[in-house]
Amino acid sequence: MPLFWRIFLLNAVVLIAAAALLLGPVTVSTPVLLTEAAVLTAGLAAMLVANGVLLRLGLAPLQRLTRAMTTTDLLRPGRRPAVGGHGEVAELITTFNTMLDRLEAERATSAARALSAQEAERHRIAQELHDEIGQTLTAVLLELKRVADHATPAVREELHQVQETTRASLDEIRRIARRLRPGVLEELGLTSALKALTTEFTWPTPAVRHHIDADLPPLSRDIELVLYRVAQESLTNVARHAGAHRVDLTLRHAPSGVELRVRDDGRGIDGAAEGAGISGMRERALLIGADLALGPGADRGTEVRLIVPVHHRSR
C-alpha cells in the first residue's frame, strides 16, 4: 500500500474512533440530537478532506522523486527532479540529484576509457588484417599466377577461378580493415571520409545521397571520430534492419552547432528496444557533449540526428 494511503487510513481510523466516542456515551446530550450528529459528521468529513489534501501536498515531492528514479537513464543525462518539500524530503531529493551527478560523471569517464580501448583494438586488428592476412593472400595470388602460367589450359582455367575467389577475399579483408580503421579520416578529413563511407553501403536500389556543407567549422579529432562512427553505425543499421531504398546523409553547420542527420525510408524502429549499437552511439555523443536523437523521419523510416554544440565544435 502506498505511503499516502497508509498515513491517511491511520489518521482516518483515529478520527472515526473519536467521532464514534462523541456519538456514544461521551457526548453532550443523550440521546444524540440530530443537529449534533450532523455537525460531527460534517466536521469529520472536513477533517478527512483536509488531512488528505495536506498529505497529498506533503508527499508530492516523494512521488516526483519516485517517477524520476524509475525513468532515469544515464545515457540521457541532465534530467533532475525539482527539490521540493521540507526537511528530510528536500534532503532526500538533493542527495538523489548529487548521486546522479556522480554516476553520470563516472559513467562518462568509464565510457571514455572503454571507447579509447575499443578504438585502439580496432586499429590493432585492422593493422594485422592488412599486414598479415592481406600480405599472405597477396603472396597466394602471386603463387597462383606463377603456377597458372605453367599449367595446362584446363587447370589454368580452374586456377583463374581460385585467383578470383582469393582476390575477392582480399578486397573484403581490405574493406573490413578500412571500416575498423578509417585511414581516410586521418589523412583526408571528415568530409572525404563520409563520402567514402556512403559508397561502401549498397541496397536493393542503391540511392545513398550525401549533403555536406563546405563551410564546416574546424573540428577536433575526437569530434570528427564520433561523427564518423555515428554515421557508420547508422548506415550499418539501415543496411541490416531497415529494408530501405533511399538514404540521406547530411552534415551541416546549423545555428546550434554541427548537425549530422541520417534519414532512411525503411520500415522504421516501431518502438523496438535499443541495441548495443545505439547505446554505443549515445555513449560517444556524451563524450563530446553532443545531443543524439532517434525517431521517425519526415515521411516514414528512421532519422538519426546528432548535434554537436557550438562551444564544442572547435579547438
* Residues 294 and 260 sit within 8 Å (Cβ to Cβ): no
CA distances from 206 to 201, 224, 247 (A): 8, 26, 9
pLDDT at 204: 59
* Residues 111 and 104 sit within 8 Å (Cβ to Cβ): no
Query: 151 and 193 in one domain?
Result: no
Tell me, yes or no, whether 45 lies in a domain: yes
pLDDT at 23: 66
Whether omega before 31 lies within 30 degrees of 0, making that bond cis, reads: yes
pLDDT at 314: 41
**In the predicted model, what is the mean pLDDT of residues 51-72?**
77
Query: 163 and 242 in one domain?
Result: no
| Cα radius of gyration (the chain) | 33
Helix (H, G, I), strand (E, B) or coil at 146: helix
Please tell me the least confidently modeled range out of 50-54, 61-65, 203-207: 203-207
Query: 172 and 127 in one domain?
Result: yes
Res 306 pLDDT > 80: yes
pLDDT at 315: 39
99-102-107 Cα angle (round to 5): 125
Query: 295 and 204 in one domain?
Result: yes
Please tell me the least confidently modeled range out of 35-49, 98-112, 195-209, 255-269: 195-209
Helix (H, G, I), strand (E, B) or coil at 28: coil
Tell me, yes or no, whether 109 lies in a domain: no
**In the predicted model, what is the mean pLDDT of residues 239-263?**
84
pLDDT at 86: 64
Query: 168 and 63 in one domain?
Result: no
Percent of the chain past pLDDT 90, that is, above it, reads 0
Retrieve residue 156's grid coordinates.
589454368
The number of domains in the chain is 3
- End of a domain among 77, 103, 129? 103
pLDDT band for position 313 (cuts 50, 70, 90): very low
pLDDT at 21: 65
Query: 91 and 36 in one domain?
Result: yes
pLDDT at 79: 72
- End of a domain among 76, 103, 130? 103
Query: 202 and 189 in one domain?
Result: yes
Res 201 pLDDT > 50: yes
Tell me, yes or no, whether 159 lies in a domain: yes
Q: Of 303, 307, 287, nearest to 295 (Cα)? A: 303
pLDDT at 299: 67
Average pLDDT value for the chain? 77
pLDDT at 74: 63
Query: 187 and 151 in one domain?
Result: no
Tell me, yes or no, whether 230 lies in a domain: yes
Residue with cell 564544442: 312
Q: What are the residues whose beta carbons fall under 8 Å from the beta carbon of 315, sequence distance 6 or more?
A: 218, 219, 220
- pTM of the entire predicted model: 0.60
Of residues 84 and 225, more confidently modeled: 225
Tell me, yes or no, whether 136 lies in a domain: yes
The Cβ-side half-sphere exposure at 252, using a 13 Å CA radius, reads: 11
Query: 94 and 13 in one domain?
Result: yes
CA distances from 192 to 26, 160, 189, 210, 211 (A): 92, 35, 6, 11, 12
- End of a domain among 136, 161, 180? 180
**In the predicted model, what is the mean pLDDT of residues 222-226?**
85
Please report the sign of the dihedral spanned by the C-alpha atoms of residue 106, residue 112, residue 118, residue 124.
negative
**In the predicted model, what is the mean pLDDT of residues 112-137?**
77
Tell me, yes or no, whether 301 lies in a domain: yes
Query: 308 and 199 in one domain?
Result: yes
Exposure b/e, 289-307, CB count within 10 A at least 16 = b: ebbbebeebeeebbbbbbb
DSSP code for 312: G
Host domain of residue 20: 3-103
Query: 191 and 172 in one domain?
Result: no
Tell me, yes or no, whether 113 lies in a domain: no
Tell me, yes or no, whether 69 lies in a domain: yes
pLDDT band for position 76 (cuts 50, 70, 90): low
Query: 136 and 192 in one domain?
Result: no
**In the predicted model, what is the mean pLDDT of residues 258-272?**
80
* Residues 172 and 134 sit within 8 Å (Cβ to Cβ): no
129-130-134 Cα angle (round to 5): 85
